[in-house]
Structure 1
Amino acid sequence: MGLLSRDKFRLNYFNRFIFTINLLVLFIAYSIYLNYIFKPSEIHYFNFISIGYPILFIIVITFMFYWLLFSWRHFILVTLLSLGAFYPMYLSYPVKNLSKQVHGEGQLTVMSFNTHGFRADGTSELIENNLADIMLLQESREKQQKHWSAKKLDRYYKEYFGLLTIYSRYPIIKTNVIESTANTGAGMGAYADIDLGFDTVRVINLYMEPMYIEKALVKDVITSDTAEEMEQTSKKLETKLVKGMVMHQSQLDELIPFIRRSPHPVILGSDLNATPLSYEYLKITKYLNDSYIMAGEGNATTFHGFKFPIRIDYLFHSPELEVVDAKIIRKKFSDHFPVIVNYKLQ
């Protein structure tokens, strides 16, 4: 009986090769979880996997379909082995939210939005049509919006810090830039303690250092004619990514104390320039919850500047807050979509 069972799992040489490649792909996919352990300055390759994970996931699904056609026993085996590969995709595509438990009305709405410098006509109107109690804008200099905000957001308290803007319907009692001792280029953070009347919250507006990855560079890697040309362009891409990731690590080292030592519940809005299960995401979610994942459903991707959309814009919150509702406004005036979350204090 035992020999008969083993015979049913026996594969020909070709399918053994396919199965071996399948296991190798799963090994690479699961190594994304090593971002829990290693910093980009130590081993950056695991953080690369978080960027290209959707491609890896498609390959994983393709293998599952292959085994479904050729061996249902191996399909069951591969499906069981692949279960952990679904979670990183769930963080970008929570088709059915399994965490939502809070019902009723919220007390505070917050928006995080990279406006891309208000370059596109309609960006300001998009904000006007989706006003929140607190709005954290990135790539939004004062001069790009001062005239508009003076007319349309005259009832808001306003704070400007270079590329960052904080708008609040409630009084801002303390605010400042989050100083960085590292040379982080364009990346920066700022915080504001806001008096809601019934409580005080600390909001943090965070713009992580951009990677400066141009579409032309990505296209050059894909369309390289020779192995030497591909190696050169890939090296350029890798250098930019590693530089950005190491800067992110330095930014987070400066940021985390503001979260841990905050005397108030924290809400952090960010263009993180990093995808779910990246080192950056895991570092923040060690202290704060991912707001959209707590109550949002459907497509959570926020950046559409390349061929395939990715999720790099977030709102995070302290455990003292609950999420009633979360949504993403899918209107293309910036290369990012706004994220809006409705909170309730416990």
Structure 2
Amino acid sequence: MKVVRLIFLILHLGIFLLLVGMLLNAYVPPKVFPWFNLLSLGFPILISAYILLTIFWIFSWKKRGIVFLLLGLLFFNSVTRWINYSSVKSETPDLKIVSFNAKNGGFGVKNIESYINSQNADIVLFQEYGGNKKYHFEGLKEGPESPIITMFSKYRIIDHKQLIESDYEYNNAYATQTDIEIKGKTYRIINMYLQPFKFEKKMVKLDGNSEEDKQKVKDVVKRLIPTFKMHQEQIAVIRKSVENSPYPVILAGDFNSVPNSYEYYHLVDGLKDAFVEAGKGSATSFHDYKFPIRIDYVFTSESIQPLSYKVDRSVKLSDHYPVLTTFKLER
């Protein structure tokens, strides 16, 4: 039993160090050391193993259980970015936003139109909407056309600017900033779609063949590392728009990045994660793999209060679930 406990202790310490490495994404950019960003992808597994081993030590009446429990508090905020239970807010919302990666409308434009019309949203932000597809929503007008992302709004658009534009060869990302007037005040809406990893299920599914699986892992890493570095460049452009905005900001879209990643830390800087503020349950929004993956987000300036955040799992109109958020705006 002593040998087993020693193995568990070494394993527990190893997992703790990996989780600490993940926290360094707040400071270390991918172009300097991309491997910390890889750790963020495995956070659900790492934290689950850490919690189970902590429970094992506590039930074994070992003092180290208390030590690991206290050290685990370092990762509390990291957990709430995946799973959260906020109290219900009683205020009446001023704004409702739907953000949705529509997978190029492949599940049916009419189905998407019917769903969006049922939501009575004030603003709808699409990613991968299918540039050649036309959507018609009740009471919403489409903003300036873009090939990958688009926006529909009940409110008047004052200004619009492309921040990142895809070249379809090297760069497949896109981001826009749109200034809109809501009840006499101007807000900046940034709709973004960071560089995708372009994975297919067969590329990440391990078959038990050691040589083939090893090659698959190598191929995955070869795609991940360059994409992390591209994200760093794309984030710099978006951060400039946020920091220079004279108006309160709502930043939303498909970040193609998980919580606790370099992308997350540097995009949320100075903003609030609407899920952390008002979400309940799991924030997992990408459902094509049997693994918890949150890559869709809504961030806001401090002056905008998130009242609710819902990942709507009642519909499957894409490989992403729609994200529904409501807000109380500044007076």
TM-score by length of 2: 0.92
Aligned to 2:117: 128
**Does the CA contact (< 8 Å) of 1:157 and 1:170 recur in 2?**
no
**1:155/1:337 CA distance change after superposition, 3 Å:** closer
**Does the CA contact (< 8 Å) of 2:103 and 2:319 recur in 1?**
yes
Matches within 5 A, 1:135-154: 135-144=124-133, 146=134, 148-149=135-136, 152-153=137-138
1:199-225 per-residue CA deviation (whole Å, 9 max, x = no partner) reads: 110101100110112111111xx3242
**Does the CA contact (< 8 Å) of 2:142 and 2:150 recur in 1?**
no
Aligned to 1:205: 191
Structure 2 residue corresponding to 1:322, chosen from 299, 305, 309: 305
Equivalent position SS for 1:251: helix
**1:342/1:13 CA distance change after superposition, 3 Å:** same
The whole-number CA distance in structure 2 between the counterparts of 1:75 and 1:40 is 34
**Does the CA contact (< 8 Å) of 1:292 and 1:315 recur in 2?**
yes
Matches within 5 A, 1:147-186: 148-149=135-136, 152-153=137-138, 155-179=140-164, 185-186=171-172
Deviation at 1:341, TM superposition (A): 1.5
The whole-number CA distance in structure 2 between the counterparts of 1:181 and 1:111 is 23
**Does the CA contact (< 8 Å) of 1:141 and 1:165 recur in 2?**
no
The whole-number CA distance in structure 1 between the counterparts of 2:60 and 2:323 is 43
Deviation at 1:61, TM superposition (A): 2.1
Equivalent position SS for 1:159: coil
Aligned to 1:53: 43
**1:174/1:85 CA distance change after superposition, 3 Å:** same
Deviation at 1:325, TM superposition (A): 2.0
Unmatched tracts of structure 2, length 5 or more: none
Aligned to 1:5: none
Deviation at 1:309, TM superposition (A): 2.6
Deviation at 1:82, TM superposition (A): 2.2
Q: Does 1:34 align with 2:28?
A: no
The whole-number CA distance in structure 2 between the counterparts of 1:325 and 1:118 is 26
Unmatched tracts of structure 1, length 5 or more: 1-10
Identity across matched positions, percent: 30
Structure 1 residue corresponding to 2:227, chosen from 222, 227, 244: 244
Aligned to 2:106: 119
Aligned to 1:23: 13
Deviation at 1:157, TM superposition (A): 4.2
**1:114/1:181 CA distance change after superposition, 3 Å:** closer
Deviation at 1:171, TM superposition (A): 0.7
Query: 1:340 corresponds to which letter in structure 2?
Result: L
Between 66-75 and 276-285, the greater mean CA deviation after superposition: 66-75
The whole-number CA distance in structure 2 between the counterparts of 1:68 and 1:196 is 53
The whole-number CA distance in structure 2 between the counterparts of 1:33 and 1:328 is 25
Deviation at 1:269, TM superposition (A): 1.1
Q: Does 1:77 align with 2:67?
A: yes
Deviation at 1:72, TM superposition (A): 4.1
Equivalent position SS for 1:129: helix
**Does the CA contact (< 8 Å) of 2:165 and 2:173 recur in 1?**
no
TM-score by length of 1: 0.88
Aligned to 2:253: 270
Compare CA radii of gyration and give the structure with the larger one. Answer: 1
Q: Does 1:281 align with 2:264?
A: yes
Structure 2 residue corresponding to 1:189, chosen from 175, 190, 193: 175
Query: 1:327 corresponds to which letter in structure 2?
Result: K
1:36-69 per-residue CA deviation (whole Å, 9 max, x = no partner) reads: 1111111111111111111111211221232234
1:151-173 per-residue CA deviation (whole Å, 9 max, x = no partner) reads: x3464243321111111101101
**Does the CA contact (< 8 Å) of 1:157 and 1:169 recur in 2?**
no
**Does the CA contact (< 8 Å) of 1:135 and 1:168 recur in 2?**
yes
Deviation at 1:251, TM superposition (A): 0.6
Query: 2:324 corresponds to which letter in structure 1?
Result: I
